[in-house]
Structure 1
Amino acid sequence: MPCSAPIYQCPFMIDIVSTAESAPFVTAVPTADVDRDDGAYRSWLKEAVRKVRAESGRSADTHLLSFPLPEEWGIDLYLKDESTHPTGSLKHRLARSLFLYALCNGWIRPGGPVIEASSGSTAVSEAYFAKLIGVPFIAVMPRTTSGEKTRLIEFHGGRCHLVDDPRSVYEVSAALAAESGGHFMDQFTYAERATDWRGNNNIAESVYQQLSRERYPEPAWIVATAGTGGTSATFARYIHYMQYDTRVCVPDPENSCFFDGWTRGDPEATSDTASRIEGIGRPRMEPSFVTAAIDRMMKVPDAASVAAVRVLERVLGRRAGGSTGTGLWSSLKIVAEMLERGERGSVVTLLCDPGDRYLDKYYSDTWLASQGLDIAPYTATLEHVLATGEWA
């Protein structure tokens, strides 16, 4: 799949200079007056950026759902419902930011494919934006990714490249980009920097605006699960920038290295097994996971995550993906801790994507049995805390 973007010759002569007193450095000596402005490309770029920004204007903000807790507890729990985005997940915001970042950096060119390493939801959203601006899209994903996600990627005009080893998605994506002359979007590196964390209608600013008339407008805790780490970084940075007292907790599923890397302060931590909770958990410490910005992490059993999404369906009548369950489990644990300490306040977590994408996984007893997951004791824990406020 060739890239039609022009290939420019480097207008510099590169000298590598090394002395005993200093480390090697590069000097660039101009050798010609080169005008890199391509009128056709600039016209295409302006129109591509316009289309992406216009899409943002057409998308209403997502709802902040109230999870019912007894009034006398003095604690309010909310779920930011990101499943209502046009592509059905929290990753819609990320994909929009990544496309704007790459376009404005000059990395995406007319006709050149965009390639992404993903566990599914980001790829669905990126396929949507690639189609919007008229470039091909290839998603590199683990073969275990849900069939519904691959269907959605293809529905939006993307192509799926499945790999057996989830740890290989980075290298395969980079190789495909090099072979095709395209751009490797690399969400796991750029997620935390592509989003304007100071505001500009990011998810953190949206949450605080929606809470402004609630009885506890400044939440005690925000609970954000991590795939890239970009969302937790956005929340944490915005909180620090606005000088709020809110703390950020990041729950981590089984088979993810984030918790171990954070607790041990080990940026080289890895996991040899892929996460069963799609969209969160990683086999390596991703560059976008800003460990110093967050306040707390929890390790959540996968069976607990599944139990939580099933309890969510019973209480709110809404099906959600497993990452929502990971966040809800941790949020209810924090609620119980606040009650035990006699604290009042609010807790916010995320409804990341709809459960319809996972009917053959988290809502399938057959799948649970095949994975050796018993959700009964975790369901009992959740029902107990909802009835009594105590964490069993």
Structure 2
Amino acid sequence: MSSSDPAGRGLAAVADVPPVAQAAVPTVDVDRSDPEYRAWLKEAVRKVQADANRSADTHLLRFPLPEEWGIDLYLKDESTHPTGSLKHRLARSLFLYGLCNGWIRPGRPVIEASSGSTAVSEAYFAGLIGVPFIAVMPRTTSAEKCRLIEFHGGQCHFVDDSRKMYEESARLAAETGGHYMDQFTYAERATDWRGNNNIAESIYQQMKLERYPEPSWIVATAGTGGTSATIARYVHYMQYDTFICVPDPENSCFFDGWSNHDPAATSDCGSRIEGIGRPRMEPSFVTGAVDRMMKVPDAASVAAVRALDTALGRKAGGSTGTGLWSALKIVAEMVEQGRRGSVVTLICDPGDRYLDKYYSDAWLAEQGLDIAPYSAAIEQFLRTGIWP
């Protein structure tokens, strides 16, 4: 069911509000020079920045490969953030961006269109600074993600069609006088891609003492596109020779939009791999910064994430499997070409959020997904070095 408005206005009335095509900057309804507001703003920014100081860097794990290949595969484990996913970095950046722009205001809700992990992290930061939070999400979002949003003090507002999340979020912001965070527009500009301990800088710092410290490839899946943009821009800014690959799941338009140079590309149904893949080309997906994309079957994503559990004893979400499948294919190409080097991909979030999906054989059967051929392909490759 839809949540009630934390400001007490009642979101049931939102259905009568005309759709809003684009999130609008909140109306100036506070005196920006008011000492009380400035004191609140300073304290809110301090709290968000203090969260970063309390958080140690995430681990860089090695995926076991035969030594004779001369190739190292790493996974940066973003599931160890306080809110359990890569989106913790994004949420922190978006909150600082919104606060410093004067868009997030005391007592007014922050609203986000999210399939889950971003909403979990944003609920955490909203609670940290004491503002209400409403997540607009597909009704199919995992129950565990919904529980986590509510655990952090947020409220869930469901839509039946994932393509309607944007306008519904903007509509709620107009009704409540809140701020629509709009991660899909602001992700790439809210993150400081030149440094400031972003994920790319962290990867290169952690790779310094490895035998191949400059990765041949970094593989990053895309939801907003903010992570791939941050990593790619940092690589170019620092003049590294690393290439960036973005894998895309089924039911997502990013691959087609990138391949055909079509900024208007769309997909007419939502992604089954939560957190990545979009029905439209998002403003934060910077296509010009990406060197390569791969289209990954959903069954392959699930097979890969289960292979990760077998290899490292770590369960992760489906988006991690999408990235790992592509990273393994890149490793296979390097083996075939006799090249040595390193490849880095990401553990985006923990698998305990998806036990009823990617780790459920009943869910796979319901979705018509057969992972057996893909599991066999991974097993054969790791055993022989030859991709089927």
Normalising by structure 2, we get a TM-score of: 0.93
Q: Distance in 1 between matches of 2:112 and 2:345?
A: 26
1:388: how far off?
1.2
1:390: how far off?
1.1
**Which of 291, 300, 303 is 2:299 aligned to?**
303
* Alignment pair present for 1:358 and 2:342: no
The CA deviation string for residues 332-358 of structure 1, in whole angstroms up to 9 with x for no partner, is: 000000011111000000000000000
Which residue of structure 1 lines up, in the alignment, with residue 95 of structure 2?
Answer: 99
Which residue of structure 2 lines up, in the alignment, with residue 52 of structure 1?
Answer: 48
Checking the alignment, whether the CA contact within 8 Å between 2:245 and 2:294 is kept in structure 1 is: yes
Which residue of structure 1 lines up, in the alignment, with residue 18 of structure 2?
Answer: none
1:36: how far off?
4.5
In structure 2, the CA distance between the partners of 1:9 and 1:146, relative to structure 1 (3 Å rule), is: closer
1:8: how far off?
4.7
Which residue of structure 1 lines up, in the alignment, with residue 169 of structure 2?
Answer: 173
Q: Give the superposed CA RMSD.
A: 1.5
Which residue of structure 1 lines up, in the alignment, with residue 224 of structure 2?
Answer: 228
Q: Distance in 1 between matches of 2:112 and 2:295?
A: 27
Checking the alignment, whether the CA contact within 8 Å between 2:32 and 2:38 is kept in structure 1 is: no
* Alignment pair present for 1:312 and 2:308: yes
**Which of 312, 324, 330 is 1:328 aligned to?**
324
How many residue pairs match? The answer is: 367
Which residue of structure 1 lines up, in the alignment, with residue 286 of structure 2?
Answer: 290
Letter of the 1:135 counterpart: V
* Alignment pair present for 1:195 and 2:178: no
* Alignment pair present for 1:39 and 2:46: no
Letter of the 2:310 counterpart: R
Identity between Structure 1 and Structure 2 (%): 82
**Which of 241, 251, 269 is 2:237 aligned to?**
241
Q: Distance in 2 between matches of 1:359 and 1:212?
A: 36
Which residue of structure 2 lines up, in the alignment, with residue 124 of structure 1?
Answer: 120
Which residue of structure 1 lines up, in the alignment, with residue 201 of structure 2?
Answer: 205
The CA deviation string for residues 8-55 of structure 1, in whole angstroms up to 9 with x for no partner, is: 589xxxxxxxxxxxxxxxxxxxxxxxx851111000000000000001
Q: Distance in 1 between matches of 2:386 and 2:139?
A: 40
Which residue of structure 2 lines up, in the alignment, with residue 389 of structure 1?
Answer: 385
Letter of the 2:95 counterpart: F
In structure 2, the CA distance between the partners of 1:87 and 1:367, relative to structure 1 (3 Å rule), is: same
Structure whose CA Rg is larger: 1
* Alignment pair present for 1:75 and 2:71: yes
1:282: how far off?
0.2
Letter of the 2:216 counterpart: A
The CA deviation string for residues 243-295 of structure 1, in whole angstroms up to 9 with x for no partner, is: 00000000000000000000000000000111000000000000000000010
Long gaps (5+) in structure 2: 9-25
Which residue of structure 1 lines up, in the alignment, with residue 336 of structure 2?
Answer: 340
Which residue of structure 2 lines up, in the alignment, with residue 29 of structure 1?
Answer: none
Q: Distance in 2 between matches of 1:79 and 1:283?
A: 27
Normalising by structure 1, we get a TM-score of: 0.92
1:67: how far off?
0.4
Checking the alignment, whether the CA contact within 8 Å between 2:138 and 2:161 is kept in structure 1 is: yes
**Quick one: higher RCO (CA 8 Å, sep 6+), 1 or 2?**
2
Letter of the 1:172 counterpart: E
1:219: how far off?
0.2
Long gaps (5+) in structure 1: 11-34
Deviant stretches of 4+, over 2 Å: 6-10
In structure 2, the CA distance between the partners of 1:130 and 1:292, relative to structure 1 (3 Å rule), is: same
Q: Distance in 1 between matches of 2:349 and 2:51?
A: 19
SS in 1 for 2:358: coil
**Which of 258, 277, 298 is 2:254 aligned to?**
258
Q: Distance in 1 between matches of 2:28 and 2:298?
A: 50
Which residue of structure 2 lines up, in the alignment, with residue 147 of structure 1?
Answer: 143
The CA deviation string for residues 153-178 of structure 1, in whole angstroms up to 9 with x for no partner, is: 00000000000000000000000000
